[in-house]
A and B are shown apart, each in its own frame.
Chain A
Amino acid sequence: MIIPHPLLGPRDAQEFTYLGDASLIDRPDWQSENAMQEFHDYLYLRENPAGQHRELWFHEQGDRSWLVVTRNTVTHEITQVELASDVARAQGRGR
């Protein structure tokens, strides 16, 4: 699998490690009323679709950036790759 890195161009997937569902960017608020429930769901429950999936890949053997990769879990086709920092910033988070 080749991952088109937004800064470095096409890179072999072997250079990356996989974390999972991109919703892991949305860490719950530890002070919320339902923090227990929200952290349980955040840590353990998964959407796990067959088809389009937004997921987090870490360019460990490269520039050590985190990417949000949109990949089809049935065909392995990759349609979009964003820097995770851009995704977080677009949500009004991150530095």
Chain B
Amino acid sequence: MTYSGFRVIREALTGHKGWRSVWRDAHPKPHYDFVVIGGGGHGLATAYYLAREFGEANIAVVEKGWIGGGNVGRNTTIIRSNYLLDANEPFYEFSLKLWEGLEQELNYNAMVSQRGILNLLHSDAQRDAARRRGNAMILNGSDAELLDIAGVRKLYPFLNFENARFPIKGGLLHRRGGTVRHDAVAWGYARGADRQGVDIIQNCEVTGFRIKNGRCLGVETTKGFIGATKLGVSVAGSSSRVMAMAGMRLPIESHVLQAFVSEGLKPTLPGVITYGAGHFYCSQSNKGGLVFGGDIDGYNSYAQRGNLPTVEDVAESGMSLIPALGRIRLLRSWGGIMDMSMDGSPFIDKTPIDGLYFNGGWCYGGFKATPAAGFAFAHLMSTDRSHKTATAYRLDRFRTGHMIDEKGQGAQPNLH
């Protein structure tokens, strides 16, 4: 079933009775050539590109709950390619290019909306850093524009420009950044993978690995043993728990990040804004709610809910930037569990165990990475070589001194 304008009109006229489920509910076979653990955006994209791009077959995705129920369905949906470091920017730019063609490629409406991201600047030092970042972005094929105060005022006249502590001095505008309908990313990739013959196995939790003589042979699951020639782990905030079953310790802590959504408003915020002084970022969803977030709670957690001090902190930051926020009601807040790595950057690498591959440590930036992470992970699993944009995402980089400290904060997860 493909989607088209004609199809939508025909269904509208016939009571929408013709739509069918877009992926099969598969039962596990005894053995696959490739098994990907985790039915989030990354896992589904990996399976899709394994089949579609690398011509592999006999692939399964194993998900403990339902696909899209993890971080891919909990995040604040921001996509961007405005990183600074050589190890990062080419990767995120590759990802943004994949986002730009995603809906055509998948024939699925993921509401990719390049509404622009504005990083606000509050000091001369921040302006210098933004100029440098903008140049790094442009050198890597991305786009960046430095705005002065008047330029920011034109876009967002209602911001608190005269804040005594953090006056707004300008902004770095990245026009190709924006937002994407997060659930639709999981659904679109699931449909795409299913159409390539990938088995998507839901309600199937991996409970152990079968490893013999340093080689991984498959996984124990709540639906029995599933053999695999190559196994990829892509379980977001559960990386430490899952890899511990394979006997590995990771340079990762799990932390909770909260997000918030307000009641629906008329169109107010045309793009995404980030507050460079406090940690606050905000966009408006297509339904009208303001979607925003701030810092992680900052201590190890698997609770999938946060604590109130962070709610207060985010609300304070928000109000100091957009005083009008004080008049709107908050509808919901929720939390997701993320891998926080020691330098704030991810891993896409082989493990010391033969046939076992790892993709994780995305901290709170992994949604924008979904297409490229899937592509690069599929590349690694299929060819046993890193994709050219992901060569730095190695598990041993702390040993070799090649940390990727994008924020310049040092090796402490709760600072990233």
A18 near B414: Cβ-Cβ < 8 Å: yes
Q: How far is the CA of A40 from the CA of B397 in the complex (A)?
A: 11
**Nearest chain-A residue to B249 (Cβ)?**
A45
Q: How far is the CB of A73 from chain B (nearest CB, A)?
A: 5
- Give every chain B residue within 8 A of A14 (Cβ-Cβ): 309
B240 near A46: Cβ-Cβ < 8 Å: yes
B250: Cβ under 8 A from any A Cβ? yes
Binding-face segment, A26-34, A47-55, A87-95? A47-55
- Give every chain A residue within 8 A of B254 (Cβ-Cβ): 48, 50, 73
B298 near A18: Cβ-Cβ < 8 Å: yes
Q: How far is the CB of B138 from chain A (nearest CB, A)?
A: 33
Binding-face segment, B49-57, B69-77, B299-307? B299-307
Q: How far is the CB of A57 from chain B (nearest CB, A)?
A: 8
A75 near B300: Cβ-Cβ < 8 Å: no
Q: How far is the CA of A21 from the CA of B255 in the complex (A)?
A: 13
- Give every chain B residue within 8 A of A40 (Cβ-Cβ): 398-399
A76: Cβ under 8 A from any B Cβ? yes
Chain A, interface SS category? mixed
Known: A14-B309, A74-B303. A44 touches B251 (CB 8 A): yes
Q: Which of A12, A47, A55 is the one whose CB lies under 8 Å from B299?
A: A55
A46 near B411: Cβ-Cβ < 8 Å: no
- Give every chain A residue within 8 A of B249 (Cβ-Cβ): 41, 45-47
B398 near A43: Cβ-Cβ < 8 Å: yes
**Nearest chain-B residue to A12 (Cβ)?**
B309
Q: How far is the CA of A43 from the CA of B251 in the complex (A)?
A: 9
A74 near B309: Cβ-Cβ < 8 Å: no
0 or 1 for each of A1-19: is its CB under 8 Å from B? (1 = yes): 1000000000011100010
Q: How far is the CB of B414 from chain A (nearest CB, A)?
A: 6
Q: How far is the CB of A3 from chain B (nearest CB, A)?
A: 11
- Give every chain B residue within 8 A of A12 (Cβ-Cβ): 309
**Nearest chain-A residue to B243 (Cβ)?**
A48
Count the B residues whose beta carbon is within 8 Å of the partner chain — how many? 24
- Give every chain A residue within 8 A of B399 (Cβ-Cβ): 40
B380: Cβ under 8 A from any A Cβ? no
**Nearest chain-A residue to B305 (Cβ)?**
A76
A76 near B342: Cβ-Cβ < 8 Å: no
Q: How far is the CA of A20 from the CA of B414 in the complex (A)?
A: 9
B303 near A48: Cβ-Cβ < 8 Å: no
Q: Which of B250, B253, B303, B309 is the one whose CB lies under 8 Å from A20?
A: B253
Chain B, interface SS category? mixed
Interface centre among A40, A46, A55 (most CB of B within 10 A): A46
Q: How far is the CB of A89 from chain B (nearest CB, A)?
A: 25
Q: How far is the CB of B196 from chain A (nearest CB, A)?
A: 34
B413: Cβ under 8 A from any A Cβ? yes
Q: Which of B241, B302, B307 is the one whose CB lies under 8 Å from A1?
A: B307
Q: How far is the CA of A40 from the CA of B403 in the complex (A)?
A: 13
- Give every chain A residue within 8 A of B301 (Cβ-Cβ): 73, 76
B252: Cβ under 8 A from any A Cβ? yes
0 or 1 for each of B112-137: is its CB under 8 Å from A? (1 = yes): 00000000000000000000000000
- Give every chain A residue within 8 A of B411 (Cβ-Cβ): 43-44
Q: How far is the CA of A49 from the CA of B240 in the complex (A)?
A: 8
- Give every chain A residue within 8 A of B251 (Cβ-Cβ): 44-46
**Nearest chain-B residue to A75 (Cβ)?**
B303
Known: A13-B309, A55-B299. A48 touches B240 (CB 8 A): yes
A53 near B342: Cβ-Cβ < 8 Å: no
Interface centre among B244, B249, B298, B300 (most CB of A within 10 A): B300
* Chain A to chain B: the 4 pairs with minimum beta-carbon distance, closest first: A48-B240, A50-B302, A44-B251, A18-B299
Known: A20-B412, A47-B249. 6 other contacts (CB 8 A): A12-B309, A20-B253, A46-B240, A48-B300, A50-B241, A71-B299
Q: List 8 A-B contacts (CB under 8 A).
A: A12-B309, A18-B298, A20-B253, A44-B251, A46-B251, A47-B244, A74-B302, A74-B303
